[in-house]
């Protein structure tokens, strides 16, 4: 069983956090498909944000959840299954929209973005280091536009496992020559996704993933 605390706090001030509720998720072991899982979920009342009347826990069911998805997606699906089983959240629940899945993203120009998605480029280089570790959405910049290559869309998800100063030995995996001040971002576990439009930005930025996203 997984127990998730749902908290809310002002931006940049976690010490003022306020407990909204607790979500319990347990695998019911009924799925025979190794790629899919079925889960029993229970959600505690959380004042006016989840259950205005208080009272007993709300329960629900998540079926055929892809185990390859991020754990955050399972939590998102579990809360939705308890509050609005088989329905979309009512428009008045603006806080729910803010809970939609987000992921750190990085835009690359073509053809380098496609080379990462194809597994040909296992190191991305930048003149700045990053402390980010874990999943990263790789997006293709809108410019330059190259015939046959997608632009302005997300292409794949990678796992950033390390960031260190670039060395001569990194040139092959980075598909570029060593240059002054370069850092090597080590990318693993490339997963192709169904492309979707992204408004890019400089440096690392956050992307709200579309409903029903599977990565």
Mention the CATH class of domain 103-208: mainly beta
pLDDT (average), residues 61-88:
80
Q: Among 109-123, 177-191, 201-215, which is the least confidently predicted range?
A: 201-215
Residue 198 has pLDDT above 60, yes or no: yes
Beta pairing class for 2-8 and 134-140:
unpaired
Please report which confidence band the pLDDT of residue 72 belongs to, taking 50, 70 and 90 as the band edges: confident
Model confidence band, residue 85 (pLDDT cutoffs 50, 70, 90): confident
Q: Give 20 or 173, the one with higher predicted confidence.
A: 173
3-state secondary structure 130-179: CCCCEEEEEEECCCCCCCCCCCCEEEEEEEEEEEEECCHHHHHHHCCCCC
What ranges do the domains of the chain cover?
2-100, 103-208
* Position with higher pLDDT, 126 vs 208: 126
Contact 157, 207 (CB under 8 A): no
- The answer, yes or no, to whether residue 98 has pLDDT greater than 70, is no
Percent of the chain with pLDDT over 90: 44
**Tens digits of per-residue pLDDT, 135-162?**
899 999 999 999 999 999 999 999 999 9
Among the listed residues 206, 185, 184, 210, the one whose alpha carbon sits nearest the alpha carbon of residue 197 = 210
d(CA 194, CA 214): 8
pTM for the model stands at 0.60
The average pLDDT across 37-53 equals 67
């Amino acid at each position: 069983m997984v127990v998730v605390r749902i908290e809310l706090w002002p931006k940049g001030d976690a010490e003022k956090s306020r407990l909204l509720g607790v979500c319990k998720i347990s695998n019911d072991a009924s799925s025979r498909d190794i790629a899919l899982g079925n889960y029993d979920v229970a959600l505690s009342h959380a004042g006016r944000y989840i259950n205005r009347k208080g009272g007993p826990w709300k329960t629900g069911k998540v079926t055929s959840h892809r185990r390859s998805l991020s754990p955050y997606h399972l939590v998102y699906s579990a809360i939705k299954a308890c509050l609005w089983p088989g329905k979309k959240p009512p428009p008045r629940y603006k806080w729910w929209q803010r809970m939609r899945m987000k992921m750190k993203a990085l835009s690359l120009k073509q053809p380098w973005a496609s080379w990462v998605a194809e597994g040909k480029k296992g190191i991305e280089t930048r003149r700045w280091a990053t402390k980010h570790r874990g999943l990263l959405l790789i997006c293709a910049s809108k410019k330059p536009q190259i015939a046959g290559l997608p632009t302005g869309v997300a292409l794949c998800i990678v796992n950033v496992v390390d960031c260190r100063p670039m060395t001569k030995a990194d040139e092959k995996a980075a598909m570029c020559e060593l240059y002054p001040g370069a850092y090597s971002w080590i990318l693993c576990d490339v997963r192709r996704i169904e492309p979707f439009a992204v408004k890019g930005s400089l440096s690392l930025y956050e992307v709200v993933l579309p409903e029903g996203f599977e990565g």
